[in-house]
Every structure is written in structure tokens, then in C-alpha cells.
Structure 1
Amino acid sequence: MRRHHEGRGEGSGRVRGAARTATALVAALALAATVAGCGSGEAEEGTGEEVALRLVAPEYGDSAENSSKGYWKRVVAGFEKGHPGTTVDVEVHPWRTVDKVLARQVATGNAPDLAISGTYASYAADGKLYRADDLLSIGTQADFLPPLARAGEIQRVQYGMPFAASTRLLFYNRDLFEEAGLTPPKTWDGVRTAAEALKKRDVPYPYALPLGPEEAQAETLNWLLSGGSGYTDDLGSYTLDSPENVETVGWLKEELVGEGLTGPTPPGELDRADAYAAFAKGRVGMVNGHPSLMRAAERSGVRYGVAPVPGRTEEAGATLGVTDWMIGFRQAGHPEEAGAFLDHVYSEKNVLAFTRAHDLLPVTHTASDTLAAAPGDTTLRRFLTELPEARLYPSEKTSWPELSTRIKSGLADAVAPGGSPKAVLSRLQRHAAAYENPQAGNG
């Protein structure tokens, strides 16, 4: 299959491949009389060499029923059937460790052909990645939803290919709300009022605020966006200590955490997975959640509703969007075969299969249009409608992984007793500046 950016690695790969084939053919003819019976069971050099691709991927499932291993087994089987001579081995690792496993493989010179990761910028900056147009056909690359494709670019060149996406909505327990005579809140004041009513009815977590180290950066950004700011401004500069952000975190500290409306576990010790598990047990009144929480709640028989994330004075204009990145490493040197596999992965059929298996959002126009028109998937479509205006992490910045780690470990200090939102956010801003410009120091 021809890629449409052949000048970066692919053409030279074909030249080298042709040279190897010619050399092998001469050697084979010279030795034919004495080794005529040898080589059975091996691919012959002149008929196309066997290529074994390797993909490192995270586990998206939460049970044996929807394990990612089953999904990839079906996708690989379909690809290998139509591409004899190319095999694909998929390593599935837990999300908590997959990026570390990948970093270790790259550092030791054993980079896979492809990987799904939460980051791509550092690998791209080090020259380790193929451009998306080195790998993908024109049709596949053009099918990505534009906001997601742009988020995978560095200086207008796409290296990160969106693989799975999600947005956030406010989940609320319908039974608890109906018993308390509540309707879904549209503003922060509404969140506080509803949480107070739920607390009076002994709901353990009126509003679950997961600022623990698992995913504090997500909950934090959701609130910062609803307060009118975020991690960066429209030009991409970090703005962690903006007045709006200081006010937002101050409101959380005084109006929710300080009033005992976030439950018995301190926010800094509450991970997202634990908050979702508590919601699925009926112990949470409200929590910001992504689509996979639907399945957990349904499995436990919890009646839930979803609503737009509340804003400071009205419904928030933007919500958090998250995408994971498919990336291709140059080290392995199989852009043609890796590209053919990616075209297969991003077919409408396979994108929809992944979406429905894991309650995540499709990243392509074709799959999104099909999902939007389907008679089912009603709640999933609510998340899909948020995607065009969603704000993503600044993944194009090489500084983001380190800053994200700082947010995970330190943001919760701002809402703890005696904590200072301004001091914590200013410290994070100094770290952000230092990561952007190492010569400036870390403050």
C-alpha cells in the first residue's frame, strides 16, 4: 500500500529491501548445487520477507468479558488473513504500567513498531516517531476528527494518532436525587446546594472529588474549565495560577471540601477508580465521569443520570476531553506494514467495535456519524456531542508528562486544611515554566 509521504524513511526502506533481495538471490544461485535441499519451512528471499509487527497497548477492559486482549485478537486475525507474510503480536499491559513499559523498551533499543500511550511529544522531539502521513493512507488520516488530529500535532506535523477518546459529564444517582427532591445542578451553587441536601440524608459522598494520584489532572482540569480558564491559554502558554484558577480551587476548598461535602476520604487520597466504584455501590450522589462509568453503574443496578458539567454561573462552556495516542516508532523500520495494519485498525468496523466494547468515543468521522445515527447508544451520544468543544490536555508539550505528575501529587494540597490554592497553583506554574525552559530553574 502506498503511503502519501514517501520521502521520510519509506522510500529508502524499499531501496534497502531491494538490495537485500538482490544480494540474497545471488548468494542463493551460487550455492544452489550444494544446498538444494535446505531452507524448507523458511520464507524465500525473492518472494517477500516475513514481517512481524509488535504493538504495545493498554488494557481498557475491566473484566474478562471486555478485555482488550479479545478485541486485539479479533482485529489481528482479520488483518493477518488479508495480509499473508505479516504477523502482529500485541502486548497488553495495565494502564498504570504501560507507559513505563514502553519507555523502558525504547530506552533499551527495543522499541515496538506501534504503541498506544498517553503521551507522544517527547518521543517525537527525540526523532523516534514516524509522522502520521509516513504511515497512514490519505483516507485514514483525513477521517480523524479535526480537534483530535490537531492535538496530535507539533508545529503542524501530526505524530500522535488519536486512538480512543472520552469526554466528561456529571453523573448523578437518580434514586438519591429523587428521594431528596433534587434536579441536576447547572451551576457551582447548585452543586453545593444538592450536596448539602444529600449530606443531610447521610449519603457518604455527596460529591466525590477524586484528586488522588491516579488521575487528579483530569478532575482538576474539569473544574478549571468550568471556571473559565484551564492549564493553558489560547496561545498554548501555561496559566495554572490565573486569577480564575485560583478562584476555582479556592471555591472547591471552602465550599465543598471545607463543608464536609466530599465524603470521608480526603480528596488527595481518593482515586478516580475508587470514586467510580463508590458510585456503582450507590454511595455517591455526584461525580464527574467518563463513559465507562455507565457500564459499571448498570452492572450494579444503580440508576444514574448524566448532565453537562456545571459552571461557575451557568453550564460550563467546555468540558475535558481525553484521547490516547497511537504512535509509530522508526526503530523497527516497517512503515509500510505498520501503516497497512493501522488502516485496518481505523476502519469503521473496528473503531465501532472498540467503542462499544469499552464505552469510549470514536475518533473518526465515519464511526462518529454511524454512532450518532444509530438507534441505540443514546447516553454515549451525549458524550459524543461534547467532543467538538472539549479541551484536551496540552499533550503537544514535552513538559506535560512531568507537569501532570506534579499535579497528581501536589494539587490536592490546595484544598487540604491549611492549604493555599494560590501558593499551590503558583508553585505548579513555576514548575511548568522550568519544564518549558530548563535553564530557568524550577523555583
Structure 2
Amino acid sequence: MSALGMAAVLTGCGLSGGSDDVTLRLVAADYGDSGANSSQKYWDGLVEAYEKKHPGVTVDVTVHSWNDVDAKVKEMVDAGKAPDMAQIGSYADYAAAGKLYKVSDLLSIPVEADFVPQLANAGEVRGVGYGMPFASSTRLLFYNKTLFAKAGIQAPTTWAELAEDAKALKRDGVAYPYALPLGPEEAQAETLQWMLSGGGGYTQTASAYSLDSAENVKTFDWLRDDLVGKGLTGPVAPGKLNRATAFAAFAAGDVGMLNGHPSLMKAAAAKGVKFGMVPMPGAEGPSKVSMGVADWMTAFRQNGHAEEVGDFLDFVYDEKNVLAFSREYDLLPVTGSASLTMGAAPQDADLKPFLDELPLSETYPVGRTSWAKVSADIKQQIGRAVAPGGDPAAVLGELQTAATTLDVGVGG
């Protein structure tokens, strides 16, 4: 799953029917896990409702899996057949190439102003918004209540408590006292969560990466020495453990603790695992900043129709539609109005802990065109930092050098 997921395909933009009729084509990613809840169904219902009120506009939507959607859009753009809209995992390359509309050229002022500020800011390239947040998520520390009760321990609030809990779980024979997925699937997520809990991050200033900051080095020194080095992260080396494997192990009752997003709730509950969720522990107390993830809606300039695209997207971001999507896929709303409604609704109580973290969250530096390559490097390299004999300062230094070189090459 990209950052989150959803899909719909558009192929060029043309006229259908009268001279004033317009067809808009959208490519999106699929957030569903079966045909029964495919995002195609969500979009079909949304488009039907829109077209009833806008007889001159047709919206064609095709949904692709998260494994394919970004590549499909790239193929279309490279072939000179950009969709009108694409709901995908990144936007910065297209924005830097001048291919996208500015958000302010599309949305009405009330709709644009309703985006959650942290997410709206993450959609900017050099202070100008090009990516519209479409879905979001945060992370919490999940823990197995049954295993914790058996070990006589409480949910941790600090790194030291987390390590002590992991020791108790190990004594009880728990396979993964703390699951640390730094494998190539999604290591950039676990890495950022830990960096933030140690007071660091990927970009501690607006102008440059800070991968090898003193805070980040200290964090990974602790992980190497106090968790991995003491055998508290399970039988699979963190650099080879993928998130999906860690999640499956938690749902199977084999993990004491791990960082998770909302979809883990359903998977764990389906297997009968009793779990709790708390903010990520920090060096001295609960982490003040959580990791946030967002997927993006973009609009390409190639076919024009800015007015029609903007009107349709105003409808997409209507509160009731944002809530319907978020509830269907256990994701967080990207607008303030929908967030307020969800926060007060009893039916959304299970998502509220994640929602509470959103105002405190920090996202990947997706506005930097170098991020895709930097992220790929982190996925491949960060596991070495916590391996036996690993050197966090050296590994983070290599990643920083590569990121800085990329920034110079692409202009950020």
C-alpha cells in the first residue's frame, strides 16, 4: 500500500455529446482489500451523484492497485496522454516539471482552507500547493494486552520502559518482543517514527535533509544497543523484516509491541488478538510528534478544464464524501470539518486515537523531488545501522551525503 491507496484511470480529455459537454478522466489507487470494498465502487457512487447535478460533465474513473497506479500514471504522462486528475502516492516530480495545476487555481477558497494544515503544507513545493491531500494516517504503538498481562507489565511511555517491557516479554517466550521492520518494504516509515521520537527527523530545517543529525544518530545507537543488540526484536534481522510480515505476526499473537496504522486494528481483531494503542514512547516520555502519511490528488494541466476539474474536486472534498471514504477504509479525514465530525462521533471511536495524533504529525518530505530516491536508499540501507557491529553514524552519514547530492542535482 503506497502511503495509503486508491485508483482511477483517465485517458485524455474529450468532448461527449454537445459542444459544451466535457469528459474528465481520473486515475486513482485502490484502498480496498477485496472486490466487495474496491475503491472503484466508492468512485462509481460518487461520480453518479455528481453527474446527476452536472449533466454537462462526465467523469470516467479507473482504479488500479497501489502496486501499479503510480507507474500507470507515469506511462500516460510520458505518452503525452496525461489524465485530468490522478490520485497517487507522490506529486513533486510532476509539479517541478510544470505539469500540474496549482491547488489555488482549482478549489474554492472554503474547500482549500479546510485541509488539515500539516497535510496542506506537505502538498507544497517551494511554498506553492500542488498536491491535495486525499487520505491520511498516523501511527501508534500497538501492544498485545494478553501478553502484557501475562508478563505483568504496562504499556510503555519511554524508551527505557519499552526496553524493560521487551525483556519481560522475551522471558515469557514471545517471539517478537518488539517488532522492528526496517526491511525494504516500508523501512522509511519505521525509521521516521523512531527519529521523531528521539527529537530528530528527516528534515529538521526547511532547506535541507538532516538524516545524520546528532538526535538521529543517538536514536539508532539506542536501537542497536538496547533493543536489537539485546535480542529483543525477534528472530528476523530488522533489516530483513518487512512491515507486512510484522503486522501478520502481530495478528497471529507472536508480537508484543510494534508501530501500526489503523488497518492493523481490523486484522488483529479478526484473529481475536486483544490489543491496546498508545502514543509512541520517546526518550524521556511520550513522543511529542507522530509520523503522518498522506496520499495525494493531483490535476494535470495538459487537457485544460480547470473550472470543471475544480468543481468536481470541490464535490470530492465535501465533508460527507470525505467521511464516507475515511470510514470505508479506516483512514483519517484530510479536512478539518470531517475531522471534527469524526472526533465527536461514537461510531468512529476506534479511529479517534489516530485522529488525535494528526495535528502533531510530521509527514515525509514529499514536496522534495529528491524524496523518492532518498526513500528508496533508506529502505535498502537503514537496516545496516542496527545490525551487529553496525555504525549508525556511518550509515546515516552515507544516506545524508547521497540525499544532499540528489538535492543539488534536482534542485530540492
Tell me which interval the TM-score lies in, with the shorter structure as reference length.
over 0.9
Return the alpha-carbon distance in structure 1 between the equivalents of residues 331 and 18 of structure 2: 43
2:202 to 227, 231, 253: 231
Q: Which runs of 5+ in 1 are unaligned?
A: 1-20, 22-41
Q: Cα distance, 1:317 vs. partner? A: 1.0
Return the alpha-carbon distance in structure 2 between the equivalents of residues 206 and 70 of structure 1: 40
Return the alpha-carbon distance in structure 1 between the equivalents of residues 166 and 65 of structure 2: 34
Q: Are 1:375 and 2:346 matched, yes or no?
A: yes
1:198 to 166, 169, 174: 169
Match in the other structure for 2:44: 73
Q: Cα distance, 1:439 vs. partner? A: 9.0
Match in the other structure for 2:384: 413
Q: Deviations over 1:248-274 (max 9, x none)?
A: 111111221122211122212222122
Q: Which runs of 5+ in 2 are unaligned?
A: 1-14
Match in the other structure for 1:43: 17
2:356 to 368, 376, 385: 385
Query: What secondary structure, in the 3-state scheme, does the structure 2 residue paired with 1:75 have?
Result: helix
Larger CA Rg, structure 1 vs 2? 1
Return the alpha-carbon distance in structure 2 between the equivalents of residues 369 and 147 of structure 1: 15
Are residues 73 and 252 of structure 1, via their aligned partners in 2, closer, same or farther at CA, if it must alter by over 3 Å?
same
Q: Are 1:153 and 2:95 matched, yes or no?
A: no
Which amino acid letter does the alignment assign opposite residue 337 of structure 1?
A: E
Counterparts of residues 129-140 of structure 1 (less than 5 Å): 129-140=100-111
Match in the other structure for 1:311: 282
1:355 to 303, 326, 331: 326
Are residues 439 and 159 of structure 1, via their aligned partners in 2, closer, same or farther at CA, if it must alter by over 3 Å?
closer
Match in the other structure for 1:27: none
Return the alpha-carbon distance in structure 1 between the equivalents of residues 57 and 110 of structure 2: 22
Identity %: 57
Which amino acid letter does the alignment assign opposite residue 97 of structure 1?
A: D
Counterparts of residues 112-191 of structure 1 (less than 5 Å): 112-191=83-162
Q: Deviations over 1:389-420 (max 9, x none)?
A: 11111111111111011111111111122321
Match in the other structure for 2:10: none
2:62 to 91, 111, 121: 91
2:188 to 213, 217, 222: 217
Which TM-score applies when normalising by structure 2? 0.93
Query: What secondary structure, in the 3-state scheme, does the structure 2 residue paired with 1:326 have?
Result: strand
Return the alpha-carbon distance in structure 1 between the equivalents of residues 193 and 303 of structure 2: 38
Are residues 149 and 436 of structure 1, via their aligned partners in 2, closer, same or farther at CA, if it must alter by over 3 Å?
same
Which amino acid letter does the alignment assign opposite residue 149 of structure 2?
A: E
Return the alpha-carbon distance in structure 1 between the equivalents of residues 245 and 25 of structure 2: 33
Match in the other structure for 2:216: 245
Return the alpha-carbon distance in structure 2 between the equivalents of residues 439 and 97 of structure 1: 25
Q: How many residues were matched structurally?
A: 398
Match in the other structure for 1:4: none
Return the alpha-carbon distance in structure 2 between the equivalents of residues 338 and 179 of structure 1: 56
Match in the other structure for 1:52: 23
Q: Deviations over 1:9-31 (max 9, x none)?
A: xxxxxxxxxxxx9xxxxxxxxxx
Return the alpha-carbon distance in structure 2 between the equivalents of residues 182 and 67 of structure 1: 40
Q: Deviations over 1:321-353 (max 9, x none)?
A: 111111101112221221122111111111001
Query: What secondary structure, in the 3-state scheme, does the structure 2 residue paired with 1:330 have?
Result: coil
Is this contact kept in 1: 2:208–2:404, CA < 8 A?
no
Query: What secondary structure, in the 3-state scheme, does the structure 2 residue paired with 1:332 have?
Result: coil
Return the alpha-carbon distance in structure 1 between the equivalents of residues 30 and 241 of structure 2: 22
Moved runs in structure 1, 4+ residues, more than 3 A? none
Query: What secondary structure, in the 3-state scheme, does the structure 2 residue paired with 1:136 have?
Result: coil
Q: Cα distance, 1:234 vs. partner? A: 3.4
Which amino acid letter does the alignment assign opposite residue 119 of structure 1?
A: S
Are residues 278 and 329 of structure 1, via their aligned partners in 2, closer, same or farther at CA, if it must alter by over 3 Å?
same
Q: Deviations over 1:35-62 (max 9, x none)?
A: xxxxxxx7243xx23x222222112122
Q: Cα distance, 1:181 vs. partner? A: 0.9
Which amino acid letter does the alignment assign opposite residue 43 of structure 1?
A: G
Q: Are 1:259 and 2:230 matched, yes or no?
A: yes
Q: Are 1:105 and 2:76 matched, yes or no?
A: yes
Which TM-score applies when normalising by structure 1? 0.86
Are residues 254 and 97 of structure 1, via their aligned partners in 2, closer, same or farther at CA, if it must alter by over 3 Å?
farther
Q: Deviations over 1:105-147 (max 9, x none)?
A: 2112121111122211111110000001211112211111112
Is this contact kept in 1: 2:323–2:338, CA < 8 A?
yes
Which amino acid letter does the alignment assign opposite residue 347 of structure 2?
A: G
Match in the other structure for 1:337: 308
Q: Deviations over 1:334-378 (max 9, x none)?
A: 212211221111111110011111111101111111111112322
